[in-house]
Amino acid sequence: MTDEPILICYDGSESARNAIAAAGSLLGGRRAVVLDVAPVQEVAEAFAAMGSGAASLDREALDTAGAGADEGAELARAAGFRAVGRTELETSTWLGVVEVADEIGAAAIVIGSRGLTGIRGFLEGGSVSHQVATHAGRPVLVVPPPH
């Protein structure tokens, strides 16, 4: 077994928690980086609403994502991973995931899916899991929501 880490995407959602549990049963015991990406778009929208304080908004977004990454890392450790949390600030979530996977040399990426399809998936901006799988250049475990 290689010691390349597994990159686990975590946003605090039920689908992310479900993905960690599923990955633990398949890949547990490995090193893992649990990533929470803070989208720049949210920071930009908050900045526009407030009119100033962009640096503090960036810090707040990263702090929130950091707390999420720490929570996800704790769940991953409970699922059998040797996990650490990590945060990134990026224009789109999928791009942040792919960039971090490249940086750490991830053996695979684990991501939960909300199961959006058809027009709902299109209207909600497409699927992050689909974009990650399309652009990652490495195995991606997309864990669907439970039935």
Both tokens assigned to 13: 């959602």
* In contact, 141 and 26? CB cutoff 8 Å: yes
Here the CATH number for the domain that contains residue 24 is 3.40.50.620
Q: What are the tens digits of pLDDT across the range 93-144?
A: 999 999 999 999 999 999 999 765 544 544 444 589 999 999 999 999 999 9
pTM: 0.82
Checking if the pLDDT of 18 tops 60, the result is: yes
Q: What does the alpha-carbon distance between residue 93 and residue 19 come to, in Å, rounded to a whole number?
A: 17
Domain count, the chain: 1
The answer to whether residue 1 sits within a structural domain is: no
Residue 31's pLDDT band, with cuts at 50, 70 and 90, is very high
What pLDDT sits at residue 58? 60
Which backbone phi and psi does 142 adopt, to 5 degrees? -100, 115
Domain span including residue 46? 6-143
Q: What are the tens digits of pLDDT across the range 61-92?
A: 667 667 889 999 999 999 999 999 999 988 88
Query: What is the CB neighbour count within 10 angstroms for residue 114?
Result: 17
Give the residue, 37 or 3, on which the prediction is more confident. Answer: 37
Q: What does the alpha-carbon distance between residue 43 and residue 46 come to, in Å, rounded to a whole number?
A: 5
Question: Could you tell me if residue 110 is left (phi over 0), alpha (psi between -120 and 50 degrees) or otherwise beta?
Answer: beta
Of the listed ranges 23-27, 36-40, 68-72, 99-103, the least confidently predicted one is: 36-40
The answer to whether residue 58 sits within a structural domain is: yes
The answer to whether residue 134 sits within a structural domain is: yes
Long-range contacts of 101-105 (CB under 8 A, 24+ apart): 101/7, 101/136, 101/138, 102/137, 104/5, 104/7, 104/33, 105/4, 105/5
- The Cα-based distances of 70 to 35, 66, 96, 144, 147 in angstroms read 9, 6, 17, 23, 28
